[in-house]
Amino acid sequence: MALRGLGTSGLPLGLIVALGLGHAAFTGNRFSITLHALALHASPLAIGTLMGLVMVVPMLAAVQIGRWSDRIGYVPFAAGGLVLLLAGGLLVAAWPAMPALYAASMLSGTGYMSAHVAVNLAIGRASAPQRRTDAFSAMALAFSLSGLAGPMLAGVAIDQAGHRYAFLALCCFALASVVLLRWAASRHRVPPTSNGAQARPRVADLLGHRSLRAVFLVSGLLSMGWDLFTFLAPLQGVRAGLSATSTGMLMGAFGIGTFAIRLLLPRITRSAGEWATMGGALFVTALGYLAFPLLHDFGMLVLASFLLGMSLGCGQPVSMALLHSHSPEDRAGEAVGVRSTITSASQTFLPMMFGALGAAVGMAAVFWAVSALLAAGGAFAIRRR
């Protein structure tokens, strides 16, 4: 069980908690940016552009950040990224207008991506191979809690004090993550594994690896499913007439679902296998997205969000464990960067596409189209067994 792993000394818990705090700031910022844009009467296309900007720079820079982390070490990129995340929240708190939202989207996404790639590399290398799945399951549990805390805190702060104070509250998470990372880095010294003397590495070499390519594909589909929920659930909440607090509870229910499944995930993967677990997650998510746009009752939306959190919560820890298992030892950071580039491309282009399609044909059609893609991915993952 994941909780048993959390209680042992063999896991880099300081790094896990530091990244979890940064994730709370990131998810809260992204949620607050969406609601603030809606309050400013932005169109669905403008909101999609805002969400797409979150991952523009990560899409272009993640592989290089991974290579530099391999060669230099993870600390500069983790610390610098968390500082950028903090700066994004402070910018909107000081200037709550659409131009600041666009800039904050880029700062938050770039900063969190840098910290995510660097700290994931450190967690993988600081954990023994036989404990790697436990380490990433523990990290995923931290993400579940942070995915719950960030949007819920933001929703309550927006209703009680306004958007500006919501961003200031989220800055506390980012600041705490910077402080904790500094302490954790002194306890988990992960030396670089690449001396830079080898020939310039090629991403094509990693993409040519059959097992890695399959991991990249399935994790990209799961990321697309996650992005669809992150982008469209707040819009669905507004369509259903929910308050910011209630909409934040939808996001919180999703986070609770991810936490619940990740408590059981080590046992599930040991009995069913990694690929069967990921295939089942894709199938269940596909079914959930068939029903989600038809729901308007708050209770049913909360239940659907919880179930979608359970299905999508399987993907990240399993794919990260597979990624470290199949990557060359001196290119693990680069492989994490490739995965981050794929997910960043999803988070850059899909929200804009979702927004444009939603404006043209309605949000229900977007949910159903993604449902078909996820079902196809589930069939592919099952075959990989």
Q: Could you give the CA distance from residue 150 to residue 341 in angstroms, rounded to a whole number?
A: 24
Per-residue pLDDT, 351: 66
Per-residue pLDDT, 8: 44
Q: Could you give the CA distance from residue 50 to residue 302 in angstroms, rounded to a whole number?
A: 25
Q: Look up residue 200 and give its amino acid.
A: R
Listed residue (92, 110, 100, 99) closest to 56, CA to CA: 110
Q: Is the pLDDT of residue 305 over 80?
A: yes
> Is residue 226 within 8 Å of residue 288, measured between CB atoms?
no
Helix axes 244-272, 132-161, angle to 10 degrees: 170
> pLDDT digit string (tens) for 244-303?
788 888 888 887 888 888 888 878 877 887 888 888 889 999 998 888 888 878 888 899
Listed residue (77, 61, 82) closest to 122, CA to CA: 77
108 pLDDT band (50/70/90 cuts)? very high
> pLDDT digit string (tens) for 318-364?
887 777 777 776 676 777 778 777 777 776 677 667 777 777 777 77
52 pLDDT band (50/70/90 cuts)? confident
Percent of the chain at pLDDT exceeding 70: 88
> Per the confidence metrics, is the pTM higher than 0.75?
no
> pLDDT digit string (tens) for 119-165?
888 887 777 766 776 788 788 888 878 877 888 898 889 888 888 89
Q: Could you give the CA distance from residue 106 to residue 54 in angstroms, rounded to a whole number?
A: 5
Angular region, 189: left φ>0, alpha ψ -120 to 50, beta rest: beta
Half-sphere exposure of 38 (CA within 13 A, CB side): 19
Per-residue pLDDT, 237: 81
**Domain extents for the chain?**
9-190+209-383
Q: Go through 120-144 and write b for each residue having 16 or more CB atoms within 10 A of its CB, e for each that does not.
A: bbbbbbbbeeebbbbbbbbbbbbbb
Helices (DSSP H) in 95-131: which residue ranges?
98-126
Q: Is the pLDDT of residue 83 over 70?
A: yes
Q: Is the pLDDT of residue 1 over 50?
A: no
Q: Look up residue 21 and give its amino acid.
A: L
The CATH class, in words, for 9-190+209-383 is: mainly alpha
Q: Could you give the CA distance from residue 138 to residue 262 in angstroms, rounded to a whole number?
A: 8
Burial of 99 (0-12, 13-18, 19+ CB in 10 A): exposed
Q: Is the pLDDT of residue 168 over 90?
A: yes
Q: Is the pLDDT of residue 175 over 90?
A: yes
Calculate the average pLDDT of the chain: 81
Count of H-run helices and E-run strands, the chain: 16, 0
Length of the chain: 385
